[in-house]
Structure 1
Amino acid sequence: MATGDRKYQWGTHRPFNDFGSHMRKRFNGLVQKVSIDAGFTCPNRDGSKGFGGCTFCNNETFKPVYSQASKTVSEQLKTGISLFEAKHPGTRYLAYFQAYTNTYGEISKLIELYEEALAFPGVIGLIVGTRPDCLPDHLLDYFEELSRKCYVAIELGIESTKDETLNRVNRGHDFQSSIDAIHRIASRNIPVGAHMILGLPGETKDDILGHAPIVSELPLSYLKLHQLQYVRGSKLGREYLKNPENFKVFELEEYVDLVVEFVVRLRPGIVLERFSSQSPYYLLIAPAWKLKNHELSHLVEKRLQELNLWQGKYYNAELDSIPQISRINA
């Protein structure tokens, strides 16, 4: 049976457990995230744990234009929803607190901002992006109570499972912090997502693929993957411009195959939200693929189908039984 004809355990014909289908099924209709920049900072920017932030980070590379800290939460939601509503009337919305660390601040102020978002017409829940080391118990108590009334999910930037890598990029926490946070969130029956970057400095192909079985053992609901991007305004971008020979930049086909090899090792129950990120061209240094996220997802899906592979096909398999499929040597 060709993969395009197969219906997988997650209930679709797509060879990976995709976020869009999952959310449409869960909410019985179209749901869209609307990004919010609530003006937060991070503990490795303000001196609590360090300065300068993660070496790969320039928050302007992933925020939509309407998401600006100079505007109120309601103003950002109004603008963002108007853009989506014009194309898809009747859509429901999740307020996505995205920029920087959205649980890092005075608890009463945090709750005030969350409640402002939930009071906006059409908003049916929250997704809160944060770090694994910024989740006090009393805030989790609030999220647990809130989750009984509306949809709540927490998204963690874990980036890598290797402490050496986390230190190299000035992350400010170790992987054990991510493990602990994921278990603490999941124990409260709150969906938890994770964000990982493939190709961080010093990581080999085996290191990257080794993340898949490790995160598969965690009680994750969702996972975002994307390629390492060297961007202007980041320390890593400056390092790359100075000595590009010291850094790995994936060719497009090479990255697609890397994602395929990652996905086949991944627990089938983890919902995959994306495989790439798309920085604005004026900030992006490399890799310059000029593809939108959904276009790269299509390439991954096509490659899985070509090879008769699917998410989790080699989950828990012995390493020597997993085929090497790369078209380009890493």
Structure 2
Amino acid sequence: MRFSNNKRYNDYSSFIKRRFSERVQKISLDTGFTCPNRDGTKGRGGCTYCNNNSFNPNYCKPDKSITQQLDEGISFFSKKYKTQRYLAYFQAYTNTYADINLVKQLYNEAVNHPQVIGLVIGTRPDCINEDLINFLSELSKDYFISLEFGVESTLDRTLKDINRCHSYKETVDAYQLAKNKGLHLGAHMIIGLPGETKDDILNHAIELSKLPINSLKLHHLQIVKHTMMAHQFKTNPTQFSFYSVEEYIDLITEFVGLLRPDIIIERFISQSPKHLLIAPNWNLKNYEIVDKIDKKLIEKNLWQGKQCLL
């Protein structure tokens, strides 16, 4: 099967070029919302791996308005790229977990910014409803609207262990509610969570391929400071096992082979700041990992969907 950009998978940069015909940059935003597994509604402490400081840029502060965060983010990125458009990325915590009127107000403020052409909304599958989906569906008639769910795992035992406080069935139900509404549906998965075998991880690709998703972000397991998982790693390190770079690349190429070929792969790894990262320390940039994956796919004569079971 032929993909763009001389890749053996459906890559995100090629999708952006097809969709927008110009450079597009995401501007991360922080609404100050929390999560139901943090505030006591479903649990306390949040997800065991989560430290939002591991990906929030400096301009992204909840005490600033959405417009101010967008202006500061655009000012930062426009120094490098003079001509580009922007997507407002509601990234930190659960960005649909608030009064529906407040959520609508913040989304409307973002799309009313003259340089914003759409929204990317990160949330949990148990924090959406029909009213919100219908609102986003209306917005999608004029703007690009991406709704990304933190799936993390398709196994309920893992979801329980990492304190997600929702089931995989709730994930499936959320995608069913959101499909065919004009929305770009994304998924986040963490590869290498404690207790998951290689077969478990490869089965994630099979299960994800059954969902009506348009894009996928893969994150390798990282333990970062100031998280429950950091405490668990310190007190009981034997419950964790980390892939070497070579092992991870070999695993991911098999994962890609099982994945439905139309799913856009947005990323293969996550990158926490060095001052927060505890393990594993691969000491490689994202593009270096991608280059190794590209070469391994050629070496193994694999491509996205080659072994897809659907």
Report how many residues are paired.
Answer: 310
Q: Deviations over 1:188-224 (max 9, x none)?
A: 1311000000111110111011110111011100000
Q: Report Cα offsets for 1:162-209 as digits up to 9, x if no partner.
A: 001000111010001111111211131311000000111110111011
Contact residue 152 and residue 191 of structure 1 kept, 8 A: yes
In the TM superposition, what is the alpha-carbon distance from 1:245 to its structure 2 partner?
2.3
C-alpha separation between the residues in 2 aligned to 1:41 and 1:82?
27
Quote how far apart the aligned CAs of 1:107 are. 1.1
Q: Is the 8 A contact 2:154 2:168 kept in 1?
A: yes
Structure 1 unaligned spans of 5+: 1-7, 318-330
Aligned-pair CA distance for 1:289:
1.1
Looking at structure 2, the residues matched to 212 and 222 of structure 1 have their Cα atoms a distance apart, in angstroms, of: 12
**Does the 8 Å CA contact 1:103/1:134 hold for their aligned counterparts?**
yes
1:294 Cα deviation from its structure 2 partner: 2.7
Q: Following TM superposition, by how much is the alpha carbon of 1:29 offset from its aligned partner in structure 2, in angstroms?
A: 1.4
1:290 to 274, 283, 295: 283
Match of 1:264 in 2: 257
Cα contact 1:223–1:273 (8 A) shared by 2: yes
Q: TM-score, normalised by structure 2?
A: 0.97
Aligned residue number for residue 168 of structure 1: 161
Superposed displacement of residue 231, structure 1? 0.9
TM-score (norm 1): 0.91
The share of aligned pairs that are identical, in percent, is 50
Question: What do the CA deviations read for 1:84-113 (whole angstroms, capped 9, x no partner)?
Answer: 212222111100000000001011111111
Pick one of 212, 219, 243 that aligns with 2:212. 219
Q: Could you tell me which residue of structure 2 aligns to residue 93 of structure 1?
A: 86
Q: Is the 8 A contact 2:2 2:8 kept in 1?
A: no
Partner-residue secondary structure (3-state), 1:114? helix
- Flag as ranges the 4+ runs of structure 1 deviating above 3 A: 8-12
Residues 282-313 of structure 1, C-alpha deviations (whole Å, 9 max, x = no match): 11100111223232222211211222221111
CA distance in 1, matches of 2:13, 2:252: 18
> Match for residue 231 of structure 1?
224
C-alpha deviation, 1:279, in angstroms: 0.5
| Structure 2 counterpart of 1:3 | none
Gaps of 5+ in 2: none
1:246 to partner: Cα distance: 2.3
Q: Does structure 1 retain, via aligned residues, the 8 Å contact 2:195–2:239?
A: no
Q: Structure 2: how far apart are the matches of 1:93 and 1:71?
A: 18
The yes-or-no answer on 1:251 pairing with 2:244 is yes
Deviation at 1:244, TM superposition (A): 1.7
